[in-house]
Structure 1
Amino acid sequence: MTEEAKRTHPAGPSRLWRKYCRSGFLRGIPLPEWMKSMSKKKGLWNLFKNGGFFILLLLVTFYFIFRSQDMGSVLRTVTEVNPIYIGIAIGCMCLFICCEAINIERTLTLYRCDTSFAKCVKYALTGFFFSSITPMASGGQPAQMYYMYRDHLEISYSALAIMMELASFQFITVMMAIFGYMVNFSFFNEMGYHIQYILLAGVLLNTVILGLILMAFFSKTILEKCINGLFALLKLFRVKKIEEIRIKVQYQIDLYRRGAAAFQKNKGTVAKILLTTLVQITAFHSIPFWIYRAFGYEEYSFMTVLLIQAVLYITVSAIPLPGSVGASESGFILIFRTLFPAQVIQSAMLLSRGISFYLFLCISGIFLLVIHALYRGKTRECTQPMKIRKIH
């Protein structure tokens, strides 16, 4: 790591950070192994493997949901809804993508990275696609870093930008879900203990994840004790490659700490990121409401439907399935059957998931095919470390 990089990197170099720099991981020389695999046959094989599993899961899900239904009747119901509200729902998904792009651009600007809103839309669509076809959305962030790397952005800065966007997203989704669970407690309580326990487990699991993220930002001592306790437990169960896992975990924690150090000097930027994320999540969770209105129903308010969806989303996101396929569809029918009549609930689910997931999965997939065609034959040049500047 150069003296210039040491001076300009947020919070200064740590032992772990220097280790990654010596390995070439953070300087862009050479290309990290996991990024190499994305541009070779192994990466294509992983993509086809995840995509194949996703399609199989999708077929099984729709078979069990619609096996006793008249698909002709379901499709006719879908075509009879109010197109204005369908347009609003699609607009909400566009806003969802744009808000993520705004946050990525805003964060990269802190590091004087040469980027633009159009490029950040590309990163947002990339994250959406790869998060959708990998378990627990594990492929989204690495894919975003890969495309940032190809756009001549330093990995250290792109990683920090993605981690900050992810932390903001996790914070808003968890807070909204907790609030939604409290406000609609009687609604969920009427569904029975089994469903209530599942919903509560999803909220608690994501709350724990948020707690770990916040500790990474603000409490080094407590977090290290938690991590040491966790790895001591893993040793008892004789889990393999514990040290390798520890290095990866410590690296992620190091990223969060450096992000915290940078953003403590730019609290106004943090506020803007959180506000943008709030708009983003509100737009995303409002889609079931616009579907509800598209069918002509008015009994339940915007806020009620929004907060119910917030709880459902965070519950199914805890299930390690690509795009939460199966869990989201079944959960929608289970939770929203009180709002939608039985004769239209499948159609409502089809529209809601079709707009919030499948439509933009197709759009982002086609977009990536075009991007790959444009990138074909191009090589990535190395970049030099960039200074951080304070923005107001």
Structure 2
Amino acid sequence: MSRKNQLSTFIMLVIGIGVFAFEMRHTNPQTLLKQFLTLNPIWLVVAFGSMLLSYFFEALVMKALLHNRDDELHNWWNLLRIPWIQALFNAITPFSSGGQPAQLVALVQSGVEVGRSSSVLLMKFIIFQTIVLVNFILAMVLKFENIAQHFTGLAVLIIGGFVIHIVTIGFLLMIMFYYRFTKKLVLGVMHLLAFFMDPDKVEKRTQTLVTKIDAFYQESLVLKREPKKVCLASLLTFLQLVFYYLVVYFTLLALKIPQVNLVDMLVMQAMIVMITSIFPIPGGTGGAEYSFKTLLASYITVPSKLILGMFIWRFITYYLGMFLGVIAVAFKPINEHRTRKVRGGQPLNEESLD
């Protein structure tokens, strides 16, 4: 990892420690230790296993999207390191903006052609955003009364997350089905921005946007002809999210919380995902902890257990990915294909993961 990325990782760890220290300000550490010693170790292991399965299914999504391509990945290490690297760079960048570029570099390092990598990652992104949205709608349909009762205070945050997902998916669907119009629209907006910003920077960003729009459109044409591949990737993404959502359920079982309802916990996690998506702080730090504490306070009535549960859940769903990502960056992939890693005549910069 570069020094900049190492510094970002260190800063996020410090901020995370600060958040938990703040939450523990009214909690006796000895009481917290006693609660920890009473944990059910089996369910704790299951919670960790559920998160690892989530990463595994995310790797399968990438394998499915690259299936029957000349640069399809077969090596499992190359596949598994991609979601771990994404987890790391999502965790240390605002709005999880670093995950996509980091995955791109990881794929190119594994031998996947850079244009293919970029377009497949965009398709993976739209499938993920769509399934998150579908899960949210399902949660609303299945548990509307429960949501109205427990989520009133967070309604604005939930709606904000919902709007962000709708806008993102809508823009990508416009590229797929209204390519020329969307491209002209983007060029028009960027042209207007040039009057208020540095024209050179705007031009550079415009070229980047146009390249991504073109790549995504070309990939969408391929995938429109392969509906089975899209359906398989969507199913695998759904399973990826289900195992991610299950972590909070298994965490509560590890805490020996009585009468935990599985569907309620899945709904809670779906809401947390929506809420944290609007927080610009890397990893939604602060927002995720606040959401967990607010939404689960009625289920975990003992304050020390609530803090412990929040720590366990956050470690598994956030910090575990950071640690696995560091390992994935440290150990290089096995290059399966010999490809020209160039874009516009210039070599792709792979040092961002070093």
TM range (shorter): 0.7 to 0.9
- Equivalent residue letter for 2:292: F
- Equivalent residue letter for 1:211: G
CA distance in 2: counterparts of 1:328 and 1:233, whole angstroms? 36
Partner SS state of residue 148, structure 1: helix
CA distance in 2: counterparts of 1:143 and 1:356, whole angstroms? 19
Task: Tell me if 1:106 matches 2:67.
Answer: no
What residue in structure 2 maps to residue 187 of structure 1? 146
CA distance in 1: counterparts of 2:57 and 2:40, whole angstroms? 26
Partner SS state of residue 44, structure 2: helix
What residue in structure 2 maps to residue 123 of structure 1? 82
CA distance in 1: counterparts of 2:143 and 2:51, whole angstroms? 25
Task: Tell me if 1:167 matches 2:126.
Answer: yes
Match of 1:214 among 159, 166, 173: 173
Match of 1:362 among 283, 298, 323: 323
In structure 1, the gaps of 5 or more residues are 1-42, 386-392
Deviations 1:208-233 (A, max 9, x none): 11111222222225534653564466
Output the aligned Cα RMSD: 2.6
What residue in structure 1 maps to residue 239 of structure 2? 279
- Equivalent residue letter for 2:122: M
Kept after mapping to 2: 8 A contact 1:188/1:196? no
> Alpha-carbon deviation of 1:315?
1.5
Structure with greater contact order relative to length (CA < 8 Å, sep ≥ 6):
2
Deviations 1:79-112 (A, max 9, x none): 3122222222111111111111111122222422
- Equivalent residue letter for 1:57: I
> Alpha-carbon deviation of 1:151?
2.4
> Alpha-carbon deviation of 1:250?
2.1
TM-score of the pair, normalised by structure 1:
0.78
Kept after mapping to 2: 8 A contact 1:178/1:203? no
- Percent identity for Structure 1 against Structure 2: 20
Kept after mapping to 1: 8 A contact 2:63/2:72? no
Once the two structures are superposed, the pairs formed by residues 1-392 of structure 1 within 5 Å of their partners are 44-116=2-74, 117-190=76-149, 194-221=153-180, 223-224=182-183, 226-227=185-186, 230-231=189-190, 234=193, 238-240=196-198, 241-343=201-303, 344-369=305-330, 371-372=331-332, 382-383=339-340
Kept after mapping to 2: 8 A contact 1:184/1:308? no
- Equivalent residue letter for 2:252: Y
- Equivalent residue letter for 2:136: A
> Alpha-carbon deviation of 1:272?
0.4
Kept after mapping to 1: 8 A contact 2:54/2:240? yes
- Equivalent residue letter for 1:227: V
Q: Residues 86 and 231 from structure 1, CA distance in 2 versus in 1: closer, same or farther, beyond 3 angstroms?
A: same
Q: Residues 254 and 65 from structure 1, CA distance in 2 versus in 1: closer, same or farther, beyond 3 angstroms?
A: same
> Alpha-carbon deviation of 1:184?
3.6
Kept after mapping to 1: 8 A contact 2:87/2:325? yes
Q: Residues 250 and 71 from structure 1, CA distance in 2 versus in 1: closer, same or farther, beyond 3 angstroms?
A: farther
TM-score of the pair, normalised by structure 2:
0.86
CA distance in 2: counterparts of 1:350 and 1:119, whole angstroms? 30
Kept after mapping to 2: 8 A contact 1:75/1:347? no
CA distance in 1: counterparts of 2:72 and 2:220, whole angstroms? 22
- Equivalent residue letter for 2:157: I
In structure 2, the gaps of 5 or more residues are 343-354
Kept after mapping to 1: 8 A contact 2:104/2:118? yes
Kept after mapping to 2: 8 A contact 1:333/1:349? yes
Q: Residues 286 and 251 from structure 1, CA distance in 2 versus in 1: closer, same or farther, beyond 3 angstroms?
A: same
